Amino acid sequence: MTFAKKRSYVAVVTCFHDDETLNLAASRAQVRRQVDAGNDILCAGTNGDFTALLFDEKLALTEAVLAEVAGKARVMVNVGAPSTFETVKLAQAVDRLGVDALSVITPYFIHCTQDGLARHFQTVADAVQTPVYLYDIPARTQNHIELQTALRLSRHGNIHGIKDSGGTQSTLQDYLSVAAEYPDFGVWSGPDHLALWALENGAAGVISGLGNVAPKVLAGLVQAFNSGDRVAAQRWQDRFSALRKDLYALGYPPAMVKRALHVLDPQVGASRQPALLPDTQQDAAIARLLADHGLTA
């Protein structure tokens, strides 16, 4: 697998009704908005409230996303769970739906050794036909895929890369060194402020949460890079970084992304409790911020 053309995925939000049941129509509208902008879709990721979704809901959401995308973009689904057993069961169920890739977040709550992590990912990759991508976000899971473990896993025939959400350039550099040795192992950048740097240093693409709020900015950045327009790409990156700094200064990033979308479209709904409750003062600040960044509906 080669990565000549860089791609932009958005870890799209999952929408809920006021009674906290899934709002598949609103979720499909968010998917449609991203596809229209030129982005691919990561379903049930961190910004998609995956920890609050039940097993069957993840499948129903994936089916709705696939129906909406209708082949116009790629679809990746996060199937990670705390145990290998549950992860395999979900991965196999999603595998049968015909998605393009599976994202597997490191186990959370359970403290894992590096050998335990390697066995976890190998077992999942052995159980499915769909390409598997590792997902490292140690600030949330307390488990980190170290360089030697990434090297070990890169040799597996069905592990095709990793999404790095470590938040630092150093972890991206580590994983990019693996990709340099194993070109079929794609590195996907999670930190939005490092998107352009990652692309310039060999990343396969970007998987963004902030892209929910600014889909055209993310798509513009990657498209400018693909066309060789470094100046335009830097302009898009500067705009993306400024939005990230201002929005995330208001609170926990995934919660701020969801609230920003709610301000733009109330059908997005809130997250399931005990997530952030609506706050009129905070929503007003978000509305002003969106206007300042030219992102009003």
Confidence of residue 2 (pLDDT cuts 50, 70, 90): very low
Alpha-carbon distances of 178 from 107, 153, 163, 196, rounded to whole Å:
22, 10, 13, 19
Quick: pLDDT tens for 130-176.
Answer: 999 999 999 999 999 999 999 999 999 999 999 999 988 999 999 99
Q: Whole-angstrom Cα distance, residue 152 to residue 204?
A: 19
**pLDDT confidence band for 297 (50 / 70 / 90):** low
Instruction: Determine the topology of domain 7-229 in CATH.
Output: TIM Barrel (3.20.20)
Name which of 29, 3, 22 is nearest 212 in CA terms. 29
All structural domains of the chain with their residue ranges: 7-229
What is the set of active-site residues?
135, 163
Q: 16-44 pLDDT, tens per residue? A: 999 999 999 999 999 999 999 999 999 99
CA dihedral 148, 92, 189, 222 (to 10 degrees): 140
Average pLDDT over every residue of 123-135: 98
Residue 277 confidence (pLDDT): 80
pLDDT digits (tens, 9 = 90+) for 61-117: 999 999 999 999 999 999 999 999 999 999 999 999 999 999 999 999 999 999 999
Distance CA 163, CA 198 (A): 12
User: What pLDDT does 55 receive?
Assistant: 98
Chain CA centroid to CA 30, Å? 14
Confidence at residue 73, expressed as pLDDT on a 0 to 100 scale = 98
Handedness of CA 14, 16, 21, 22 (dihedral sign): negative
Three-class SS state of 159: strand
Retrieve residue 294's tokens: 């030219």
- What is the rounded average pLDDT of the residues 163-190? 95
Share of the chain above pLDDT 70, in %: 98
Confidence of residue 1 (pLDDT cuts 50, 70, 90): very low
Is residue 238 scored above 70 in pLDDT?
yes
**pLDDT tens-digit profile of 241-289?**
999 999 999 999 999 999 999 999 999 999 999 987 888 999 999 999 9
pLDDT higher than threshold 90 for residue 3: no
pLDDT of residue 296: 82
- CA angle 186/187/192 to nearest 5° reads 145
What's the pLDDT score for residue 13? Answer: 98
Query: Which residues are CB-neighbours of 21 under 8 A, at least 6 positions away?
Result: none
